[in-house]
Structure 1
Amino acid sequence: MYTKNEVLKLKNRIAQLEKENKTLHETVEFLTHKLFGRSSEKTSVIAGQVNLFNEAEIESSPSAPEPNLKEVSNYRRKKFKGQRAELLKDIPHDTVICGLEEDERFCEKCGTPLKSIGREFIRTEIEFIPAKVRVIDYYREAYECRKCRKEGLPYIEKSPMPYPVVQHSMASPSTVAHIMYEKYVNALPLYRQEREWASLGVKLTRATMSNWIMVASRNWLKPLTNLMHQKLIGEKYLHADETPVQVLMEPGRKNTSESYMWLYSTYAGSQKPIRLFDYRPSRSGDCPQKFLKGFKGYLHTDCYKGYNKVPGITRCLCWTHLRRYFVEALPKDINSPEATLPARGIDFCNKLFAEEKLIKELTPDERKIKRLETEKPILDAFWSWINSIKYICLPKSKLGKAVDYAVNNKKGFMNYLLDGNCAISNNLSENSIRPFTIGRKNWLFSGSPKGAEASAAVYSIVETARANGLEPYSYLEFLFKNLPGVQFEAHPEFLEEYLPWDSWVQSSCKKNK
């Protein structure tokens, strides 16, 4: 027979094991979903229930009628008149006339020659023209003064030459721009580009291409990104994010060590959009502290505490990250009672995002006032709900972590109300760093710290070009054609006219110009 104390201990132990078992099951379901499930976080919360199959997200209305199966099965993509012409309006057109041969232009009834009476349009096709390369041999012409030569004072003058993008190499501006574009925009690793060049008849090794990228980045791109850095520090609103990257041959570190690529961005309303990447061998808070030295203003980030080392800033935390915690807390069976609380958290976040869409076009001052009118009550209800459930959630469960994440960072989640230029999420920096993460899946690692620094410079130029409405390849080629030979070391102000918002650059590299 067990004593009362022993029975009580056994009951407590059983309850503890049940909690641990539930947490383990939740973890297995979460990891299984991460491995095999869809990565999209789009959901809609209707009447307290989560419908993961409705990707309209917060645009859906609770009063909207649900489509029946017949409506869904008969769905067809809508077409509008002139859709094809709109898609092809910026592409050069050639006309092909399909006519009869001269000896076929006669009437089969009487033999009289036929005369053309008009043309009938049949169809439009897109023709693919394969890439080709050509070799350009530069010669410099020399000029002599014959009169001076007769007088015994020979005078010879040689014509000026365009400066090369990489000294003592075959690299042209278009070639280096293309290699960078393929790797950093199309995420095509150098070993694949090596095969592409070979198919065009050029034996260009990945080592040569890598060297061109590093030299061109160091000489022509890095001075520009340094100037952008100065301008970024002078902004009042910034976004930041970081992601791991493997870099080989780092001094004193194993090749398996994890380094980081940091991203710093101006806010959505900036007149001079800037996206800067910064390679660092660690995730220490010293990295943003050093990079953002002199910055005073609002910094939008996730809840990583390393950013607290940056002095004189107001941190605005990302509600998309908080919403993600509640999405991850959803059980496999979304109709089970365990889904109610996570669904409620998602619902609060969705309501805030819906309000943000409604005030997107307002001025900053109007946006601040409207947020206090419409979003502050939602926020008050959210924090009241969080306080009511924080003691009933298992601490190590996904829902418990979501609640702790919210409670421990409440001030940061509320700071976006302080200024109408602040954003409710850090999606801007996440979207800017995504091309890097996509490329990383293909090229996997950087071969050296210098290579990582070069990648940071190229990504900075490419993403800043995109943010300013430029075509990345055109901008890279423009820089490599025009920057070599410019004495910007002695006159730093010369670099101003090569920044992506300059009118000369805009007129030369604008998309669909």
Structure 2
Amino acid sequence: MEAIHHHPENTICDCCQGQMSEIGSSIVREEADFIPAKMKKVQHIEHAYECKICKGDVSQKAQIKRGKAPQPPIQRSIASPSVLAKVIYDKFSQYLPLYRQVKEWERYGLNTNDKNLSNWVIRASHDWLKPIYGQLKRFMMAKSILHVDETYGQIINRSDGKSGQSNAYNWVYRSVPSQGPTIVLFQSSLSRARSVLESFIKDYSGTIVCDGYSAYDKIKGVSFANCWAHVRRYWMKAESKNGKIGVSYCDELYRLERKFKHLSPSKRRKNRQKYSKPIVEKFLDWVEKSPFFGKNALARAAEYTLNRVNGLKAFLNDGRIEMDNNPAENAIRPNVIGRKNWLFSFSEAGAKANAICLSIAETAKANGLDFYRYLLKLLRDLPNLDFYQHPEILNQYMPWSKMIQAECGPKI
């Protein structure tokens, strides 16, 4: 903290012209002072030492030691760990496009362009963040419940021959709090076909909480729990007396869920069986027996509901399963916000780098980390570790590890 002292311009008494003595002081205000960031050039100089004694002894081998500079995240590049961390942080946490970052870097004294920044992000993501992403995925695939959702994106240069105006997709996968630290992973793809999901969750066994999209079905070893929020939206669109009845059933279930929110999974299941199950059965029985036909909003709501009966009942039998897919929809929101600023990815490599960086960002935030400090730690340490030979090293760099929580967690 800096203290600025303000004294009178002169301390001569206006009455007798004598020297005045200080009798006290008081703090009149405190204010925040912004100190702009600055750049500095850093040279890494390796020093060599030799033993003069051994050098003079012809029977001894020359003894030389050389200091070793740490490996940079990108060879033959001026991009230091701190610069890379800042670029990635600003894009994926502040949602600042690279072309706008260029002007900021010029203010700091670094002349570059958005193509350079893009290449830095792609290289750093592939070399150092992708291994962290892979380890996070291994932990995620060991869990038995996942939330999954997808949204569209745009990739200009596509490998499938389609126009850059065609939709690409970003998938999001989120673990549940009852199964350990939260993990959020994004995946970039050219389509939203079931094969994309099957490839990502290969050999996964468990339950996926999802919306009613047809890709979420018929995958070996996977059961699907459908989202009641989507059901409610369909009945909301049916602006009629029966539409309001459908919404009221959903609202009653949500009212109960708010009561069960802080219960353990076993107690939540018990209460759902006792209180929620009769409402679900009554609702489905009402929909099944009601004459909703045609192509109107009411008929679509009824069809949507009846086509997903088993998935809508899944939450009743497992207290760990949420009754909607809101966790995944909330997790995908940063991608949507970013898309409005980034607009598109030029290449598939860039889109994959975006997915990796967003995954690290959102998982870091979900585990209470300062994303910038976490990036800086990864980009400083990983280039100097042999984690390909010893992959267990990566466990120390998971967002929930004691070391990372101590160094990158909230400052007290």
* TM-score exceeds 0.5: yes
1:138 aligned residue (39, 44, 54): 44
The structure-2 alpha-carbon separation of the partners of 1:320 and 1:147, relative to structure 1 and needing over 3 Å to count, comes to same
Residue 361 of structure 2 corresponds to 462
1:227 correspondence with 2:135: yes
User: Partners of 1:114 and 1:236 in 2: how far apart?
Assistant: 76
Root-mean-square deviation (CA, aligned residues, Å) is: 2.0
User: Partners of 1:112 and 1:211 in 2: how far apart?
Assistant: 67
Residue 203 of structure 2 corresponds to 294
Helix, strand or coil at the partner of 1:484: helix
Q: Is the 8 A contact 2:292 2:302 kept in 1?
A: no
Residue 314 of structure 1 corresponds to 223
Residue 275 of structure 1 corresponds to 184
Residue 32 of structure 2 corresponds to 126
- State the TM-score, normalized to the length of structure 2: 0.94
User: Partners of 1:124 and 1:387 in 2: how far apart?
Assistant: 67
Q: Is the 8 A contact 2:172 2:185 kept in 1?
A: yes
1:411 Cα deviation from its structure 2 partner: 1.5
Helix, strand or coil at the partner of 2:388: coil
Aligned residues: 409
2:165 aligned residue (256, 261, 271): 256
Helix, strand or coil at the partner of 1:488: coil
Helix, strand or coil at the partner of 2:178: coil
1:490 correspondence with 2:396: no
Q: Is the 8 A contact 1:293 1:310 kept in 2?
A: no
1:112-137, CA deviations, whole angstroms, 9 ceiling, x for partnerless residues? 72432342x44333322222221111
Helix, strand or coil at the partner of 1:248: strand
1:151 correspondence with 2:57: yes
User: Partners of 1:319 and 1:127 in 2: how far apart?
Assistant: 49
1:286 Cα deviation from its structure 2 partner: 0.8
Residue 301 of structure 2 corresponds to 402
Residue 385 of structure 1 corresponds to 286
1:287 Cα deviation from its structure 2 partner: 1.0
1:190-216, CA deviations, whole angstroms, 9 ceiling, x for partnerless residues? 100111112222211111111111111
Helix, strand or coil at the partner of 1:500: coil
Q: Which runs of 5+ in 2 are unaligned?
A: none
User: Partners of 2:53 and 2:29 in 1: how far apart?
Assistant: 67
Q: Is the 8 A contact 1:289 1:307 kept in 2?
A: no
1:255-312, CA deviations, whole angstroms, 9 ceiling, x for partnerless residues? 2222211111111223122111111211110111111122211110111111214211
1:111 Cα deviation from its structure 2 partner: 5.5
1:58-111, CA deviations, whole angstroms, 9 ceiling, x for partnerless residues? xxxxxxxxxxxxxxxxxxxxxxxxxxxxxxxxxxx544444434x236475895
2:22 aligned residue (99, 115, 135): 115
Q: Is the radius of gyration larger for structure 1 or structure 2? A: 1
Residue 370 of structure 1 corresponds to 271
User: Partners of 1:328 and 1:124 in 2: how far apart?
Assistant: 54
User: Partners of 2:12 and 2:226 in 1: how far apart?
Assistant: 76
1:185 aligned residue (93, 96, 99): 93
Helix, strand or coil at the partner of 2:177: coil
Q: State the identity as a percent.
A: 35
1:194 correspondence with 2:95: no
Q: Is the 8 A contact 1:165 1:173 kept in 2?
A: yes
1:426-457, CA deviations, whole angstroms, 9 ceiling, x for partnerless residues? 11111111101110111111111111111111
Q: Which runs of 5+ in 1 are unaligned?
A: 1-92, 331-337
Residue 68 of structure 1 corresponds to none
1:353 correspondence with 2:262: no
Helix, strand or coil at the partner of 1:269: helix
Helix, strand or coil at the partner of 1:137: coil
Question: What is the one-letter code of the residue matched to 2:81?
Answer: P
The structure-2 alpha-carbon separation of the partners of 1:343 and 1:125, relative to structure 1 and needing over 3 Å to count, comes to farther
Helix, strand or coil at the partner of 2:151: strand
Helix, strand or coil at the partner of 1:123: coil
Helix, strand or coil at the partner of 2:41: coil
User: Partners of 1:451 and 1:107 in 2: how far apart?
Assistant: 73
User: Partners of 2:49 and 2:19 in 1: how far apart?
Assistant: 68
1:165 Cα deviation from its structure 2 partner: 0.6
